[in-house]
Amino acid sequence: MKIKQFAKSLVLSATVAAGPALAADDEVVIGVSAALSGSAAGTYAAPAEGLKLYLHLLNEAGGVNGKTVSLVIYDDQGDASRAASNAKRFLTQDDVQMIISVSTSATFAPIISQATRGKVPVLFAGSVCPAETMPPAKPLLYCSTGFSAVHDSIAMVDYLRDRESSDATVGFSAMGIPISRAGMEEAERLVLKADMKSAGVEIAPPGTADYTSFATKLIQNGADSVLSWAPWAVQIRFVDALRKQGWKGNAYVGHLAEAELEMMKMKDPNLFTLGTNVMLFEDSEATQTLVNAVKESGSNLHPESILDGWVGGIVVEGVLEQLGEDTSAEAINAVMSNIEIDTKGLRGGPIKWTDDNHFRETIYYRAYRWSDEKSAMEIARDWKAYEVE
C-alpha cells in the first residue's frame, strides 16, 4: 500500500527536482537537505514532502512571474556529516541559489558554515529555528518553521497562567537534547517568576522506551499541571505515562506536526496544544487547498504533518514574487532580508523579516483542545500575538 505511495512520491520528486543540468535562466535552483530517513525522519520527512508538494503545484501553475523552482533534494538522515556533504554538493556541483534545511539541529553547523562561505541564503523550513535567525540575526539565515522552543515556552506559560490557579505546581518534561531542555528550563524560570511552584524538569534521554518513572516523579512532586516541549512522540508518551497513573491534571504540549490527528484519537479534554499553525478541522480556503493537494498527490500523510514544509513553499513563492530579473543568491538574500509574507490563513499573521530579525517580528499562538461536548477539536484560545525581542 505505502510502497505505491512511495513510488508516487518518487515521481513527484522527479517532477520537482530537476537537476542543475536542466536549470535555465528562469529557474531558481534550491537545494534541500532533509532527514528523509533515519531516526529523525518521523519529524522531518513529512514537512519535506509538504515543501516539495507546494513547489510542484507552483511550477505546474506556471511558477511566479515566469520563474519556476528546481529542487535538488538530498537525504541527510539528520546526520551532521551527511548534511556537510550535501551542502558542499549544493555549492560545488548543483550551483544552488538557496538552501532549505528540513532536518535536525545537528545538521545546522555544517550547512551554515558552507552556505556562509558560498554566500547562499539558508531557509529553515520545518527544522527548528536556529538562534542565529533571532535578533540580532546573522546574514543569510532565515526561518519560517512554526515551532520554537523558547517562544513556544513563553506562550505556553502565559496560557497556563490564564488557566491554572496562582499557587499551582507545574511539572515540566523535556527530552535530553539542548533545544528541548532550553525550552523547558526557560518555562520553569517563567513559572517561578510568576510565583507558581515547580515540580521539576524531567529530562528523558533520547531513545527512552518507557516514560512511566519520569511521570511518577512529577506526580509525586505534586504537579497540578504539566508542560512539555519535545518531539511529539516524547511529549505524548509522557502524557500517556501520566494518564496511565491516573493523573488528571492539565497537560500543555507544543503543537507539532502530528498533534491534531493524535488529539482526535486521544479525546483528552485536559490536553492542550499551543502552536503557531492552524489545525485543519477549521474549514477555511487555505486548509482546503492543503488537504486537497495532499489527497490528489496520493500521499498517505496526514495533511497537518506537512504544514511547516507547505508554509516553507509559501515563503519561497513570496520571495520569487519580489525577485526581479536577477535571480542570484545575492539578490534572493536581499529580498529575504526585508520581506513580509502572507501565510494565507495557515498562521495567525504574516512572517516578517527585517535586517536584524530573520525569525519573525511578531509570532502568533493559538491553543487547541479536544471538546467532549462537541466531540471534536476546538479552539481553546484564539490567536495571541507576541513580539519577538
Q: Per CB under 8 A, which of residues 138..177 are in contact with other proteins? A: 176
Contact between 277 and 307 (Cβ < 8 Å): yes
- Choose, by CB under 8 A, the member of 13, 85, 116, 208 that binds other proteins: 208
Contact between 3 and other proteins by CB under 8 A: the answer reads yes
Among candidates 32, 63, 37, 59, which has minimal Cα distance to 48?
A: 32
CA distance 63 to 66: 6
Stretch that binds other proteins, among 2-10, 272-280, 347-355, 367-375 (CB under 8 A): 2-10
Given the complex with other proteins, which of 13 and 354 has the nearer CB atom? 13
Q: Quick check: 274 and 156 in contact, CB under 8 A?
A: yes
Alpha helices, H only, the chain: 2-16, 41-60, 80-89, 108-118, 149-163, 178-193, 212-220, 232-244, 259-266, 285-297, 307-322, 329-336
305 binds other proteins (CB under 8 A): yes
For other proteins, which stretch binds (CB under 8 A), given 117-125, 215-223, 331-339, 381-389?
A: 215-223
Q: Which residue has the cell 546574514?
A: 139
Nearest CB to other proteins, comparing residues 62 and 206: 206
CA distance 252 to 239: 9
Q: How many residues contact other proteins, by CB under 8 A?
A: 44
Using CB under 8 A as the binding rule, whether residue 178 contacts other proteins is answered as no
> In degrees to the nearest 10, what's the CA dihedral of 277, 280, 285, 290?
80
Among 57, 106, 194, 266, binds other proteins (CB under 8 A): 266
Residue 245 corresponds to which cell in the numbers above?
A: 497513573
When asked if residue 270 is in the footprint of other proteins (CB under 8 A), the reply is no
Residue number with CB closer to other proteins (29 or 204): 204
Q: CA-to-CA distance for 180 and 174, rounded, in angstroms?
A: 6
Would you count residue 243 as binding other proteins (CB under 8 A)?
yes
Supply the DSSP symbol for 325.
Answer: S
Between CA 246 and CA 205 the distance in angstroms is 24
Among 15, 24, 37, 60, binds other proteins (CB under 8 A): 37
Which listed residue (13, 116, 198, 212) binds other proteins by CB under 8 A?
212
Q: C-beta of 214: minimal distance to other proteins in Å?
A: 6
State yes or no: residue 95 binds other proteins (CB under 8 A).
no
By the rule CB under 8 A, 246 interacts with other proteins: yes
Residue with cell 499551582: 168
* 203 counts as binding other proteins under rule CB under 8 A: yes
| Shortest CB 237 distance to other proteins, Å | 5
Is 2 near other proteins (CB under 8 A)?
yes
CA 107 to chain centre: 15
Residues within the interface to other proteins (CB under 8 A): 1-3, 6, 37, 39, 41-42, 45-46, 176, 202-205, 207-214, 216-217, 219-220, 232-233, 236-237, 240-241, 243-246, 258, 262, 265-266, 300-301, 305
